[in-house]
């Protein structure tokens, strides 16, 4: 694949926009013209069939200006600034994208929302539903409740977690530098531009320098961390210069220089690898012959085919799937707890709502969350 075709060949793209691009470092105000040029690019991408998720920083920098706070904010000042600035930030996104009749939705995430499997599934489901409804999710860290110990701290890693969570094909870090160099190009004129990175070796990690700009909290170090997360999740990552107008359009032109961190494998296999590598199985469900045949053909596990359940598991937990001969067929993430399964087993998916009193998922274990394991027996 040619570098400039990366966007065109992607179905789902996460774009991370740092504070240093969105906010003028002298006035502390939003760079409206730049944002409008980016909105134009995003609109074009969506029209060509690409799904777009935005991770946008800026709340702390905007709130700091609004509240006339000085540099070196304390934790509660940062939280207050984020609470104030996030409204302005969300409003700017809404206003700008509405010029193209595009809807945006704000999602604020804390680390627990992406690390805990159950919350991760909930956040993923919301994101995917928004995309289905043609809404652009605009994500930021939930800075108002984050403390120094419990926070992503920078939106590079948050964006990579989001890319992993929603099985994106491409993560674009719009930055104040056009890519990775062998050393800091501002200090060393012999530093070499790194075009393509197929593996994140210790040499690559060594090349990452410290943070330089006033507003952005992530330097090259956090970008390399983000690259590790996304490439391991089967998602390509790009670091490119975002300081120009229409940065996404420019990215598709042959002459534009940027660094490409190549994905290790396909997104879905990364997700399935997470499941097959997970050790903590919380319980099991036993399914009938028809259901075992169906899942071997690539279908999801439905309540109708379940004949029993064992163990105490919750929604989002990893469970084993056993056939009626006690053979382990696979494992996957359940959308229902053991108490719910006890009630809905053997029933058609259409009846779940009347049995439980609320509408859950149609599938107990979705095929995307299921890994087959052919040769093991439970006993």
For residues 93 and 17, what is the distance between their CA atoms, to the nearest angstrom?
A: 12
> Scanning residues 32 to 71, which ones bind ligand GLU (CB under 6 A)?
57-61
Packing angle, helices 117-132 and 155-165, rounded to 10: 80
Minimum distance, C-beta of residue 19 to ligand GLU, in the bound complex (Å)? 5
Single out the residue of 10, 217, 230, 300 in contact with ligand GLU (rule: CB under 6 A).
Answer: 217
Minimum distance, C-beta of residue 86 to ligand GLU, in the bound complex (Å)? 7
Single out the residue of 31, 37, 216, 337 in contact with ligand GLU (rule: CB under 6 A).
Answer: 216
Q: With CB under 6 A, what is the number of residues at the site for ligand GLU?
A: 15
Packing angle, helices 32-47 and 75-98, rounded to 10: 60
CB atoms within 10 A of CB 318: 22
Nearer to ligand GLU, 39 or 61 (CB): 61
Place of tokens 């969300």: 90
Report whether 41 contacts 58 (CB < 8 A): no
For residues 197 and 182, what is the distance between their CA atoms, to the nearest angstrom?
A: 12
Minimum distance, C-beta of residue 8 to ligand GLU, in the bound complex (Å)? 28
143 counts as binding ligand GLU under rule CB under 6 A: yes
320 counts as binding ligand GLU under rule CB under 6 A: no
For residues 124 and 316, what is the distance between their CA atoms, to the nearest angstrom?
A: 12
Residues 6+ apart with CB under 8 A from 269: 234
Structure tokens belonging to residue 363: 């599938």
Q: Could you give the string, one character per residue 101-140, with x where binding to ligand GLU holds by CB under 6 A and - elsewhere?
A: ---------------------------------------x
For residues 240 and 179, what is the distance between their CA atoms, to the nearest angstrom?
A: 5
Nearer to ligand GLU, 18 or 242 (CB): 18
Nearer to ligand GLU, 143 or 169 (CB): 143
Residues 6+ apart with CB under 8 A from 212: 176, 184, 186, 219
Nearer to ligand GLU, 222 or 337 (CB): 222
Single out the residue of 137, 179, 218, 332 in contact with ligand GLU (rule: CB under 6 A).
Answer: 218
Minimum distance, C-beta of residue 87 to ligand GLU, in the bound complex (Å)? 12
> Scanning residues 146 to 165, which ones bind ligand GLU (CB under 6 A)?
154-155
Q: Enumerate binding residues for ligand GLU (CB under 6 A).
A: 18-19, 57-61, 140-141, 143, 154-155, 216-218
């Amino acid at each position: 694949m040619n570098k400039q075709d990366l966007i065109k060949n992607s179905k789902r793209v996460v774009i991370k926009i740092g504070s240093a691009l969105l906010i003028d470092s002298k006035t502390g105000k939003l760079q409206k013209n730049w944002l409008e040029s980016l909105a134009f690019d995003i609109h074009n991408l969506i029209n060509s069939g690409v799904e777009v998720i935005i991770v946008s920083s800026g709340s702390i920098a905007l709130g700091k200006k609004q509240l006339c706070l000085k540099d070196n904010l304390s934790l509660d000042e940062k939280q207050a600034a984020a609470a104030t600035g996030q409204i302005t930030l969300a409003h700017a996104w809404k206003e700008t994208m509405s010029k193209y009749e595009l809807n945006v939705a704000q999602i604020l995430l804390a680390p627990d929302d992406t690390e805990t499997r159950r919350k991760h599934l909930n956040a993923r489901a919301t994101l995917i539903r928004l995309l289905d409804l043609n809404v652009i999710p605009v994500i930021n860290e939930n800075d108002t409740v984050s403390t120094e110990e419990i926070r992503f701290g920078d939106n590079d890693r948050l964006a990579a977690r989001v890319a992993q969570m929603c099985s994106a094909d491409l993560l674009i870090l719009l930055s104040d530098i056009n890519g990775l160099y062998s050393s800091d190009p501002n200090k060393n004129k012999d530093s070499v531009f790194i075009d393509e990175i197929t593996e994140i070796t210790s040499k690559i990690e060594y090349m990452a320098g410290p943070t330089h700009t006033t507003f952005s909290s992530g330097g090259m170090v956090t970008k390399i961390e983000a690259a590790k997360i996304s490439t391991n999740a089967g998602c390509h990552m790009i670091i490119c210069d975002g300081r120009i107008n229409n940065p996404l359009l420019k990215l598709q032109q042959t002459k534009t220089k940027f660094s490409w961190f190549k994905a290790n494998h396909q997104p879905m296999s990364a997700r399935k690898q997470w499941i097959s590598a997970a050790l903590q199985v919380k319980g099991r469900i036993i399914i009938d012959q028809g259901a075992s045949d169906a899942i071997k053909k690539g279908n999801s596990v439905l309540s109708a085919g379940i004949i029993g359940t064992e163990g105490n598991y919750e929604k989002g937990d990893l469970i084993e799937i056993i056939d009626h001969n006690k053979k382990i067929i696979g494992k996957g993430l359940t959308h229902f707890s053991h108490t719910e399964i006890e009630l809905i087993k053997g029933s058609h998916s259409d009846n779940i709502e009347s049995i439980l009193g609320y509408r859950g998922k149609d599938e107990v274990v979705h095929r995307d969350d299921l890994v087959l394991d052919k040769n093991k027996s439970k006993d």
